[in-house]
Amino acid sequence: MRRVGDWLAGLALLILALAANPAAAAPLEAYGRLPLVEDAELSPNGEMIAFALTREDARIILIRKVATGEVVATLNAGNQKIRDLQWASEDYLLITASQTARIMDMAGPSREYFLTTVLDLKSGKQRNLMERAAPAMNVVIGPLYVRRIDGDIYVIAEGVHFADNNQGRDSLFRIRLRDGKTWVHREGHRDTDDWVVGMDGEPIAETEYEDVKGVWTLRIRKGKSLDVVTTDTLQFSRPSLAGLGRDGASALLILNHGSDGGTVDAREYPKDGSPTRDFVLPDYDELIHDPVTGALIGSVALVGDELKYSFLDPKTAAVWSAVTKAYPGQKVRLVSWSDSRRKLVAQVENPEYGPSFVLIDLDQKRSDEIGNLYPDLKREDVSEVRPVRYAAADGLEITGYLTLPRGKADRKLPLIVLPHGGPASRDEPGFDWWSQALASRGYAVFQPNFRGSDGFGDDFLAAGYGEWGRKMQTDLSDGVRYLTAQGLVDPARVCIVGASYGGYAALAGATLDTGVYRCAASVSGVSDLPRFLNARYRDANHRETDGLRYWSRFLGVEGRKDPDLNAISPVRLVDKVTIPILLVHGKDDTVVRYDQSQVMYDALKKAGKPVELVTLRDEDHWMSRAPTRLQMLETVVAFLEKHNPVD
């Protein structure tokens, strides 16, 4: 990263303050660009705010004073992929970015690595957080724990330390920010995979997981050592450390998720060795900890279509309730807050205008918009999103969302089925840039949360086990039939588009559940399941790990060599293809490798089937680059307009 002049700061402020004046019809660029504001973090005292801004393929880190708007610092991050901003104090900002790389002299393909830069606001200088952590990789692999010890600010960072036999281990490093001095704070064991660090900077809990045998071990601090308190063999789900407990001093262990249809069982391990405390929490997507004490104070989860916050303290719950009541009918998500919790940044999603960041001052009882994420969109460019419920062929209730094009009657519409990735993920209500872009071109867009989706309870998730290419697929076409029966869509004008697992579902729609779609577009999708599992086997240094067990359970097979994989691999079924197929894939994809699209393209071409392959240069699995994200969107829309025209 490098400093830039005042003109860039002025430009960034202008971007924040003013929305562009778009033409009558929003171009695809208005949807396909990266969000203008990717993150906004308040300093501990609430007097400064740091932004991660994007324009085209450039990221800018902007820091300004809340009261006056004065720019404190501006950094040009170039095309680095900014993943997180975190204040260590008013003097230091931690900026974490990722890059796709292959480490020289190490086995395995390219991976996504995370690097943290420390910006010293007093001196204006910056340095890599881990630059003095040798012998170690110059990357971070977990959360950054900021701790004040004896008047100094330290960061306790998880990284990879190379021990005596040059074996990399997950270890804790202690970095003093004022001079960058670095120590190995805690050497991990061979299979260490997580930690909890107390407010005094000392680790109070550590877990290990030997993923081939499935042996899980929990260590808790007793005196000066971390002693084993429990060991178990767990082939699949296992307990997880989740930061500090309700007192800000104990280690919090989540024993399970969704065990009672909406709750989780939690356990606190006090660091003084006193008895553990068990309690129940609402099932959550994210836990919330106090910014000063680290104590657990609440959680947030998407329950049905509602974003629900649960706070342990009634006063905090009442404050948050007052915040949300100021935005009726809108989804409000907490992004960051000051140490006092009297100033906060929230993302507010207006169903008519899309999402924005806002700064809320509870003492002044006022809020100010920081910036709309998609400022080139007008009210008439945002389409209505309706919830949908229907029964699959076997009676299982499926939910989803239907985005309807503006200015068209809700009858006999051309439809795009857009299944999510994961597959253990879910679509949410509200603004989705991809769905909105397709709807702006006259299509209804259907996003079903098929069986196996996360966020609907353990039973619904488990209903997807063994159903890849089977009921997970027919859940989609059952939704098409439901929408057809309602008169909303024209069954002769339906295409399927998706990314990651959704890309697999698009290819399965052309090979396994035929006769429903007139075209299919797969973005970074899996086509060859044996190849996919074998790649993960190689990534795990030729070990049969828990990751492979997870995929085998979802796929309903007995491992990567199971011949039944061929029956649900689209690349083995190209003779069944009767519709045009588009393949789009990022060359730097480290989750679903580029060769998944290449082998599908080769097989389709050999079979004489209509297919296009578009390569996204320097793009990862998450569409993190502005030019290639827009390239993907324009390519998909052109394909749909050719093979499934609106009129």
Rounded Cα gap, residues 373 and 381, in angstroms: 14
Q: How far apart are CA 8 and CA 4, in angstroms?
A: 6
In the chain, which segments carry CATH 3.40.50.1820?
382-528+569-643
Under DSSP, is residue 494 helix (H, G, I), strand (E, B) or coil? strand
Q: What is the pLDDT of residues 395-407, one digit of tens each?
A: 999 999 999 999 8
Contacts of 79 (CB under 8 A, 6+ apart): 57, 58, 59, 625
Q: How far is CA 413 from CA 399, 495, 585, in A?
A: 20, 12, 29
Position 274 pLDDT exceeds 90: no
pLDDT one-digit tens code per residue, 285-302: 999 999 999 999 999 999
What one-character-per-residue DSSP string does 201-243 give? Answer: S-EEEEEEEETTTTEEEEEEEETTEEEEEEEEE-SS---EEEE
Residue 457 in contact with residue 262, Cβ under 8 Å?
Answer: yes
Question: Is 376:19 a contact under the CB 8 Å cutoff?
Answer: yes
Q: Is it the case that residue 3 has pLDDT exceeding 50? A: no
Calculate mean pLDDT across residues 55-77: 90
Residue count of the chain: 647
- Is CATH 3.40.50.1820 the classification given to domain 382-528+569-643? yes
* pTM for this model (two decimals): 0.91
The answer to whether residues 586 and 620 touch, using CB atoms and an 8 Å cutoff, is: yes
φ, ψ for residue 2, nearest 5 deg? -145, 150
Residue 384 in this model has a pLDDT that exceeds 80: yes
588-599 pLDDT, tens digit per residue, is: 999 999 999 999
What does the pLDDT read at residue 478?
98
CA distance 440 to 419: 18
Residue 411's Cβ-count burial label (10 Å; 0-12, 13-18, 19+) is: exposed
> Quick one: tokens of 581?
């197929």
Give mean pLDDT, residues 248-264.
Answer: 81
Indicate the Cα dihedral angle 175, 178, 181, 182, nearest 10°.
Answer: 0
Cα(282)–Cα(299) distance, integer angstroms = 8
Q: pLDDT tens, 483-521?
A: 999 999 999 999 999 999 999 999 999 999 999 999 999
* SS3 (DSSP) at 411: coil
